[in-house]
Amino acid sequence: MSAVDRAIAARILAALDLTSLGEDDTPEAIERLCAAAAEGGHPAAVCVYPEHITTARRTLELEHAGEVAIATVVNFPDGGNDIARMLRETRRALAAGADEIDIVFPWRAYLGGDREGGALMLQECKSICGRKILKVILETGELGDPLLIREISFAALGAGADFIKTSTGKAKIGATPAAARTMLECIRERGGRAGFKAAGGVRTLIDAGRYLALADEIVGAGWATPARFRIGASSLLAELRAVIA
């Protein structure tokens, strides 16, 4: 493996959101996930359902990996437009110790003609997140049209999103390079202050490398640090560590 390959793998590992969002996840499975995160080079975060936040926090601290952030999901995966529900979920997640909130944009309501509700939901969510990271999931595979992806990207960025994210991973179509390009162009147009996360169908180093290369091309070399670039995947860790070793 070349030095270039190792350098790319190291960048991706540092930006990885090690994810487990299975409906049958158990505390034991989350403990194993967090123990894996603690070995060798650490990912940026682990992403789990809200009910597993305390298990993740405890395990990471026991494994001396407390610097790994804990991300969780709200308004997930359906992306409804119930603001009261979103606020309850977000407050509970923050109280349990979440560092980062991944919220699904209410894309169905937007497609149905509600052009204001999504931005209002995100503003309310950001207001209670404070300095915590807010990642907004656009579900780009369901939107399809690049113009819609662009509209909703700008709506999310304007409402205070710290990151915009491709997919829940639950839709038939997850991340695609075409959607990523549109989102990254929107981020660049807003000055590159917000971040980008590719999630949904990212399974190999080659997959992840495509998104890293797009970020370097569109927003600029050096922009895609873990503070502004993430990859959501549950199967990349072993491959990345094998390349780096």
Give the containing element (helix H, strand E) for 196: strand 195-199
Q: Which of 135, 162, 165, 207 is catalytic?
A: 165
The CATH classification number of 3-244 equals 3.20.20.70
Supply the pLDDT for residue 245: 87
Supply the pLDDT for residue 181: 98
User: pTM for this structure?
Assistant: 0.97
Domain spans of the chain?
Answer: 3-244
Supply the pLDDT for residue 47: 98
The crossing angle, in degrees rounded to 10, of helices 117-129 and 83-96 is 20
Supply the pLDDT for residue 142: 97
Q: Which of 126, 162, 197, 207 is catalytic?
A: 197
Q: Which of 15, 9, 18 is nearest to 244 (CA)?
A: 9
> Which amino acid type is present at position 180?
A
Q: Which of 102, 132, 162, 207 is catalytic?
A: 102
Distance (Å) of CA 48 to CA 51, 161, 177, 198: 8, 20, 25, 16
Is 165 among the residues known to form the active site?
yes
Supply the pLDDT for residue 85: 97
Is 102 among the residues known to form the active site?
yes
Q: Which residues of the chain have pLDDT under 70?
A: none
Tokens, residue 206: 């080659």
